Structure 1
Amino acid sequence: MPALRTPAVLVGLLLSLLLTAPAAPAALAGPATPVPPTPPPSPDPATDRAGEAGSLVARIASARAALDALTEDLGERQELANRALADDTAARQRADEARRAAEESRRGADAAVAAAERARADVDAWITAWFQQADVLGPLSVLSGAAGPDDVAARAHLREVVTADQREALERAELARIEAANADSRARAAREEADTAAARAAEARAAADAELARVRTDTDAQSARLRELGAERDAAEARLAELEAADPALAAQRERAEAFDEAASAREAARDERIRLAATTPDAAEDPLAAAGVDTTGMSDEVRTVLERALSQLGVVYAWGGGDAEGPTLGIRDGGVADSFGDFAKTGFDCSGLMIYAFAAAGKDLPHYSGYQAEAGPRVPLAERRPGDLLFWAEDDGAGAVHHVALYLGRVNGEDQMVEAPESGKTVRITSLRLDDEIVPTVTRLL
């Protein structure tokens, strides 16, 4: 009923007013006291550490990428120095060959002169004998002193024989004189060619020295940047270590990532060692190409031999300037990146040195510069690559100077793979084919 419900409503309204009304009349209360804003919740230290750790990881990755790019750039310059050294080696070989040819030609000329002198001596002897026996072999003596017709015929025959011998001696002498003159001319030309080759060898040596000097200059100019990047990386890694020390969760996360990487590296190392042993152990139970997962269907024996020879060097250290047809050799000084890694004191391969060793098994003699190796055989489109082909990387999006070479293994578990000697500080390895901007759009097929 409404009359019964009114008190309840009033009571409720009163209570509402009492609860919401101010404690004193508005006229006596004065201005209302402002209510301070609610402070934001305190930041979670763990969240802050995780955010900073993520930023540090990004900085470390960026510094490492920049270091790798700078090192790669200097490595490209090293390979150009390799070209200069290869030119120097080839020029010196040509100079030595020309010198030997000149010496042989001079010996031939001297022999020809001696033969001409002997022929001339024979002619002189015949002339002397002719005058001494003119009373016997002269035309009148043949008739006047003859005892009869038979004696005349015998004397005439003797005169003909002597005359023929004299003519032959004269012809020999003339031919010997001509040959001596020609031999002397050839010897002079060979000497000039040897002198020219020697001059070119000196120019090639100067160019090689200049290229090495440029590498050293570039390294000096960029060493400050290398140190700066290294310091940035080290500082970020040190700060990350501090955060991990304060947060077990971050440390555990990094440990899991490192354990994952170490396990992957261990698996690759075990695989490479298995392949290497299979390639180097006589009568090995396991085929090295099968161990590497390489499909050998239709593969020639030459290609198989080259691939196995390259795989036999897995794990061998990179050494700039190292490697020849016999195997790994001591690296050389470049005054820059290679020296900073101590390549001159290591026995190993650089990228083109590994190819020299691999293809020597098939009787191929390659120069020690990747750019010249690219020209050592027919070019085939990259899309038509097959195991045993040489892969190249070059400046200017693959159109400039070649600075790296690798050996294509084929498709392994659905992925293109290759074997290479990558750069200072690393070892000969199997890795995925890098189809980046610098890969040359053709391969070189030697087999």
Structure 2
Amino acid sequence: MKRAPVGGLGSRTRRHRRSRARALRTGTLAVGIALVSTLLIGSGQLAIAVPPPPPNPSDLDIADAQTRVAAGAGEVSALINLVAAADQRLAELDNEVAVRRESVNKALVDLQNARSAADAAASAVFASQEGLRDAAAQIDLAQTDFDEYAVSSYVRGTNVSSLSAYLGAGAPDDVLDRAQALKLISVSRNAVLDELQRARTEQANRDSAAREAKQQADAAAQQAEERKSLAEQAIAAARAALDGQVARKSQIESERAAAQSQLEAARANASGLEGQRVAYTAWERQRQAEEAAAAAAAAAAQDAARDAAARVAANQAARELAARLAEEQTPHTSLDDYTPSPSTKPSTRPSTSTVTGSAAIETVIDRGMSQLGVPYSWGGGDENGPTKGIRDGGVADSYGDFDKVGFDCSGLMIYAFAGIGISLPHYTGYQYTAGTQVPSSEMRRGDMIFWGPNASQHVALYLGDGQMLEAPQSGSVVKVSPVRWDGMTPYAVRMVT
């Protein structure tokens, strides 16, 4: 919604946002397709997907080592359990970090809501003051009428119901005429006095309304400052927690690397050279299968991204809806130098689109799929596309998210749904309550799916057939992934029926 300048944002900021949006619209689609192609079919990706080949011993080596085939089975089992435990600890840590990050987004959105309330109350004060000036003008007019009447009465004596008016009458008809005239004069005088009294009463009522509106404005402004303080405290808490968690994660990753190294050595000792031959044969089949699957997936993803990008580029109505929503929003990260404007008239938040059905769902999915390969950037993304991220003092900073143009998970949802006129807040917890909640087991194409307590961890867009579109984490990109059921909320959210 349109507001007075917030956080030092003025006309220059709005112009910057418009020019940035145009640049993003023309450049993001091509970049996304190029990144998808590079990430999925490049030789580096295939090298990571398939491990290095195991040794391929000769028949003589196998015969000489048969007595050592069964050695070390217990040690291998223990190391496998150790690696699994380390992976579990890392997953829990990543979940904690995600919750803290989204709590900051929540505090920032709450702050903007409080500032909107302050602007509305200030506008009410402005309207009341206009009413006071109108009432004063009415009083001046009524006073002028009364003064003129008083002067006329004094000069001409028309308001004096005196006995001489009757004594000077020449006939009974004259007496009746003069009595009627005096009655009309008296009624006119009373009307002037009544009008003056009504104007004074209206002034008193409007003055009372102005004072009440001012009190509401002051209360709203105070609430905005309290929300700002909460946002700052949330950011400080997240940064402090992340400092400790990064060290913990590094230690766990070191333990896992050591365990994996020991596991590979134990496998070689336990399985013997005959097992190595079997492993090599299996590796060769895996390599061929994964290379074929990777090539097919890369081609399919590239085609899907290209087709989605073409449809998004051709959908002028969706672009206009998204641009209009973006112009009417204040970035949720704007915190400093907030100055409410008393002359700002109240504004209304744009309502959600009335577009429904499969066409609307496909518009949302096309916009999301057109961003495949765009970098993850914590705090990034709005209605027009990817934006620079923000600092978190920890993991996101270590990946340089604050200097990357991209999306975080909730920012990607904002961009996807803006094309059909739906405005979403930049916080997964609020997005979880933005539409109709349906059981996750009944989710369908175009629904949002969430993870973590009260949807505080992550959000993705369900594509159907067990696939979802997401901006997963720092260091990654917007991509299609298999649906992860572990930790999912009991409900999905349906924005389009």
TM (norm. structure 1) is: 0.71
The 8 Å contact of residues 276 and 313 in structure 1, kept in 2 or not, is answered as no
Match in the other structure for 1:441:
490
Matches within 5 A, 1:222-241: 222-232=245-255
Give how far 1:65 is off. 6.0
In structure 2, do the counterparts of structure 1 residues 365 and 129 end up closer, same or farther at CA, with 3 Å as the change threshold? farther
Q: Does 1:350 align with 2:350?
A: no
Q: CA RMSD in A?
A: 4.2
Give how far 1:234 is off. 5.7
User: Which of residues 385, 391, 395 is equivalent to 1:327?
Assistant: 385
Q: Does 1:280 align with 2:304?
A: no
Q: Does 1:404 align with 2:458?
A: yes
Give how far 1:78 is off. 0.6
The CA distance in 2 between the partners of 1:337 and 1:268, in whole Å, is 32
Q: Does 1:206 align with 2:206?
A: no
SS in 2 for 1:422: coil
Match in the other structure for 1:10:
none
SS in 1 for 2:460: strand
SS in 2 for 1:281: helix
Give how far 1:87 is off. 0.9
Give how far 1:192 is off. 1.0
Q: Which runs of 5+ in 2 are unaligned?
A: 1-62, 269-275, 317-355
Q: Does 1:386 align with 2:444?
A: yes
Identify the range of structure 1 (253-262 vs 316-325) with the bigger mean alpha-carbon deviation.
253-262
In structure 2, do the counterparts of structure 1 residues 381 and 53 end up closer, same or farther at CA, with 3 Å as the change threshold? closer
User: Which of residues 240, 246, 266 is equivalent to 2:298?
Assistant: 266
Match in the other structure for 2:472:
422
Higher relative contact order (CA 8 A, sep 6+): 2
Q: Does 1:318 align with 2:372?
A: no
The 8 Å contact of residues 305 and 370 in structure 2, kept in 1 or not, is answered as no
Matches within 5 A, 1:18-417: 66-134=89-157, 138-140=161-163, 142-144=165-167, 159-232=182-255, 259=291, 263=295, 266-267=298-299, 269-282=301-314, 299-395=357-453, 400=454, 402-410=456-464, 415-417=465-467
* Residue type at the aligned position of 2:376: Y
Q: After superposition, what is the alpha-carbon deviation per residue over 1:325-360, rounded to whole angstroms, capped at 9, x for unaligned?
A: 233222111212222222211222222222222222
The CA distance in 1 between the partners of 2:79 and 2:156, in whole Å, is 114
The CA distance in 2 between the partners of 1:216 and 1:309, in whole Å, is 33
The CA distance in 2 between the partners of 1:197 and 1:378, in whole Å, is 30
In structure 2, do the counterparts of structure 1 residues 323 and 161 end up closer, same or farther at CA, with 3 Å as the change threshold? farther
Give how far 1:367 is off. 1.8
Give how far 1:187 is off. 1.1
Larger Rg: 1
In structure 2, do the counterparts of structure 1 residues 389 and 61 end up closer, same or farther at CA, with 3 Å as the change threshold? same
TM (norm. structure 2) is: 0.65
Match in the other structure for 1:13:
none
* Residue type at the aligned position of 1:381: P
The 8 Å contact of residues 95 and 452 in structure 2, kept in 1 or not, is answered as no
The CA distance in 1 between the partners of 2:294 and 2:81, in whole Å, is 21
Identify the range of structure 1 (55-64 vs 228-237) with the bigger mean alpha-carbon deviation.
55-64
Give how far 1:264 is off. 6.2
Q: After superposition, what is the alpha-carbon deviation per residue over 1:241-283, rounded to whole angstroms, capped at 9, x for unaligned?
A: 9999xx9997986976885685466346424423432332328
SS in 2 for 1:323: coil
Q: Which runs of 5+ in 1 are unaligned?
A: 1-40, 285-297
The CA distance in 2 between the partners of 1:365 and 1:73, in whole Å, is 28
In structure 2, do the counterparts of structure 1 residues 141 and 238 end up closer, same or farther at CA, with 3 Å as the change threshold? farther
Identity %, equivalent residues:
41
